[in-house]
Chain A
Amino acid sequence: MTAPSTNTAKPATGILALLKTAFVNALIALVLFSLMVGVRTEAGSDGQLTYWTRFGELASLVAAVFGGSIVIDLLRQWIGPTGTEKLIPPAVQSGMSFVGRYLAPALLIFTLLVPVIFYDQRYILDLAILVLTYVMLGWGLNVVVGLAGLLDLGYVAFYAVGAYSYALLATNFGWSFWVCLPLAGILAAFWGVLLGFPVLRLRGDYLAIVTLAFGEIIRLVIINWQELTGGPNGVSGIPRPSFFGIPLDNSDDGLAAKLGIEYSTTHRIIFLFYLILALALLTNWVTIRLRRLPIGRAWEALREDEVACRALGINTTTTKLTAFATGAMFGGFAGAFFATRQGFISPESFTFQESALVLAIVVLGGMGSQLGVALAALAMIGGFELFRSLETYRMLVFGMAMVLIMIWRPRGLIGHRAPTVYLTQAQAISSDLVKEGHG
C-alpha cells in the first residue's frame, strides 16, 4: 500500500451541502414516484378509467429518500473515502489474514462433518447437496471464465449433456453410474471442443452471444428430439447410484442389510452428499494442479494478453479448446450427478437461468479464485434459501444484496490472485492488475 497521502479523509462537508444533495435526491424521487406511486389507475366496473391519488405514500417515500441520503452521506464521511485500507487497525488486519489463511481448511472440515451434525435434518442435507453441486459447476466454469478469460454464457449445455448422457445410457443399456460418469465427462468435453471451434475467433460480447446460443441449441435439440430424449417429458426412472455395485436400498442385497444395520433413506442422501463432495474436490484438485502446469499458465496468460501469447509461440487455438473441454468435462460430471440424484430430468432444468446463476457465482466469487467461488455458491444458493420466508420480496432482497456486494467488492469476494510459482515468497496479486480477458 504505497498510496500517497491524498487519501486522507476530507474535512466534513458543510451541513448545507448535505441538505442540498438530499434535496436533489428527494426531488428525483418525487419525479420518479409521482406517477408510479402517487397516482393509481384501474379499470372501473364499466371499463372506464378510474384513478385516485396516494399522496401519503408518495410523501413518505420522498421523505425516506431525503433521510436516507443524509444518513448515507454521514456514513460516508464517518467511514472515510473509498480505498482507505490503511485506516483498518493492524490488529484487525492480522486477524483478517489469519481468518483468510484458515478459512478454506475450516470450511472443508465443516463440510465433511455436515452429515454428522445435521444427520436428522433432511432439508439441510438436501440444501448442502445443492450448494455443493453449484460449487462444482462454479469451479468448472471458473476454468473457462476465471482462468482463460473466455466469457461462456452457455455452460448449462454441458451440464445437460452430462445429465442426458448418464440418463440415456443408464435407462437404455443399464450401464452403471460409475461407468457412465467418465463417459458423461468425455461426451461433455467433446461438445466443449465442438463449441470451441466456431467461437475461436470471437472475442468479448460476440463470444458471449454465441455461447448463449449454443446453450439454447442444446436445450432445443433435447426438447425436439422426442424419440431419443423424450422431449419435454424428460427421462424418468434414472437408476440411483450404487455403492460400487452394492445398491443403497431396502432389499436383502442392499448395503444396510449387508452391514447389518437398519435401513434408512438418509443413507442414500449422505452417500450422495459425499459423492458430490468428492466430485467437487476432484474438480478443485485438478484445477489447482492445472494452474501450476504450463497449460494453466497459458490459460491465464491468454486472459492477460492473447497477442503476447502468440508472440511467445503459444498455440492459442488449442489452449482455448483445452479450456473449453476441461470446463465442459466438469460440467458433464456434475450433470451426471444431477441426473442420478434427481432420478428424473427434463429440459426445464437446463435453461439459461442456470448458466446465468453459475456465471454469477464465478463473478461474485472473484474470477479465478477457488475459495471465492465456493463462498459465492454458498451465499447465492444458501442465501436464496435463507430469504425464503420473505416470499414475494425474496428476489428483490436477493438482487439488492448482490448489488451491494458488487459495490463493496467490485472484483468479487476474493479479489486476489495467487501466483503459481515463486522464488522467495508468494505474494497475492491485487485484482486491479489482473485482466478479465477479452473473450
Chain B
Amino acid sequence: MSGDTILSVDRLTMRFGGIVAVQDLSFAAERKKITALIGPNGAGKTTVFNCITGFYKPSGGTIRLSHDDGRTIALERLNDFRIAKQAKVARTFQNIRLFPGMTALENLMVAQHNALMRASGFTLLGLLGVPTYRDAEKRAIDLATDWLKRVNLLDRADDAAGNFAYGDQRRLEIARAMCTEPALLCLDEPAAGLNARESAALSELLLSIRNDGTSILLIEHDMSVVMEISDHIVVMDHGVKIAQGSPREVRDDPKVIAAYLGTDEEEAVAVMESGS
C-alpha cells in the first residue's frame, strides 16, 4: 500500500476465551482517505473497531497511529478515553449512543470537554467566571453551531437529542464525534436504518469531512454508500482478511462474493461468469 498511512494494524488478534474473533488481521488506512471495513455479519468488524478505539484490549498484534506532526502512538497500549483524548481517534456506535436527555448543542459541548476543561482552569477559573473561559466557551459554541449547520440540525439545536428522528440522531452522533476534532474518525455502520435519501446525504457529509482533512475508517453494510465513497476497502470474514483494494477490485473479487453469498469460491466464480 502506497501513500501516507495514518493507521496501520499489524497482526491484530482478539480472543474471547476460546473463540477467536479476529485473527492476524493486518491492514492500513491512508491519511485523508476513506477506508471501509466490510464483511458479513459476525465477521469481526466491530471487534476490530473496539480494539482500535480502546474498548477492547487486543490479545495480540499492534495498532499504530501516526499523526501529521510525525508522532506515532501505539493504540493498543492506551485506555479508551486516552485514545480519544491524546490519539485523537473519535468513534460512533452501531447502536446510537447520544446523551438523550441533553440538547443537541449540549451533546456537542460535552464532546469538547477536554479543551473546555483546560480553558476553565480545571473548573477553578471557570467557577470564578474569568473572561478567558467565557471566550473559550463562545468558541466551543461556534464550533458546535458550525457542525449543527453541516449536519442540517441547526434549527433543532435546543431540542433534546432523545427526541430526534433516527436519521437525525445518526448525523448528530457524527457531528459530536467531529467536535472532538479527531485525526481519525471511526464510524460503525453510520447508514444503518437510513432511507435512500438520507444515505445519499450521509455520503455527501462523509466526503466533505474527508475533503476537510479527516481520515475516516468505516464499517458499513450499505454497499451503495461503501462503493460510492470509499477509497480503499478491506473485506473480512470469520475474523480474517479475505480481500482488499479499490471498490472496483473488491466488487469483482470472487472470494468476497463467496463470503457474502455463503457459497464456495468455485460456485461464485461460476455464477459470475454465467452472469457476465
- A293 and B127: CB pair below 8 A? yes
Q: Closest approach, in angstroms, between the C-beta of B223 and any C-beta of chain A?
A: 26
Chain B interface mostly? helix
Interface centre among A295, A307, A424 (most CB of B within 10 A): A295
* A298 and B110 in contact, given A293-B127, A313-B85, A423-B105 (Cβ under 8 angstroms): yes
From A162-170, A336-344, A413-421, the one touching the partner chain is A413-421
Closest residue of B by beta carbon distance from A311: B91
A-B interface pairs (CB < 8 A), number: 138
A423 touches B145 (CB 8 A): yes
B183: CB under 8 A from chain A? no
The interface stretch among B92-100, B191-199, B263-271 is B92-100
> B180 and A313: CB pair below 8 A?
yes
The reply to whether the CB of B170 lies closer than 8 angstroms to some CB of chain A is no
Minimum CB–CB distance for A369 against chain B, Å: 13
Check B76 for interface membership: any CB of A closer than 8 A. no
Residues of A within 8 A of B159 (CB): 427
B97 touches A308 (CB 8 A): yes
Question: Does the CB pair B127–A429 fall under 8 Å?
Answer: no
Stretch binding the partner chain, chosen from B66-74, B112-120, B203-211: B112-120
Does A422 touch B at the CB level, under 8 Å?
yes
B160 touches A433 (CB 8 A): yes
Is B81 a contact partner of A426 (Cβ separation < 8 A)?
A: no
User: Does A310 interact with chain B (Cβ within 8 Å)?
Assistant: yes
- Which residues 55-76 of A sit at the B interface, judged by CB distance below 8 A? none
B152 smallest CB distance to A (angstroms): 15
| Cβ-defined partner of B101 (8 Å) among A312, A313, A429 | A429
Instruction: Assess whether B123 is in contact with A293, with CB atoms less than 8 Å apart.
Output: yes
> What chain B residues lie within 8 Å of A251 (beta carbons)?
none
| B227 close to A (CB within 8 Å) | no
The residues of B that contact A322 with a CB separation of less than 8 Å are 123
CB neighbors of A among B156-185 (8 A): 157-160, 162-163, 176-177, 180
Q: Is the CB of B127 within 8 A of A419?
A: no
**B37 at interface by CB-CB < 8 Å:** no
A434 at the interface (CB under 8 A from B): yes
Question: Complex: how many Å from CA A289 to CA B126?
Answer: 9
For the complex, is B215 an interface residue (Cβ under 8 Å from A)? Answer: no
Contact check, B127 vs A307: say whether CB atoms are below 8 A apart. no
Residues of B within 8 A of A419 (CB): 102-103, 105-106, 158
The residue that B103 contacts in the complex, of A293, A316, A429, with Cβ under 8 A, is: A429
Residues of A within 8 Å of B113, CB to CB, are 294, 297-298, 301, 312-314
Query: B103, B114, B120, B154: which has the most chain A beta carbons within 10 Å?
Result: B103
Contact assessment for B120 and A294 in the assembled complex, using a CB-CB cutoff below 8 Å:
yes
Q: Give 19 A-B contacts (CB < 8 Å), ordered by A residue.
A: A294-B110, A295-B123, A297-B102, A297-B110, A297-B113, A298-B110, A300-B106, A301-B99, A304-B98, A305-B99, A308-B99, A310-B55, A311-B80, A312-B81, A313-B82, A313-B113, A314-B81, A417-B101, A421-B105
Given contacts A300-B102, A419-B103, A429-B160, 6 further A-B contacts (CB under 8 A): A298-B110, A311-B97, A312-B177, A422-B157, A423-B154, A433-B100
Q: Shortest 10 CB-CB distances between A and B: which pairs?
A: A434-B101, A313-B84, A313-B85, A304-B99, A433-B162, A294-B116, A308-B97, A301-B110, A429-B160, A423-B157
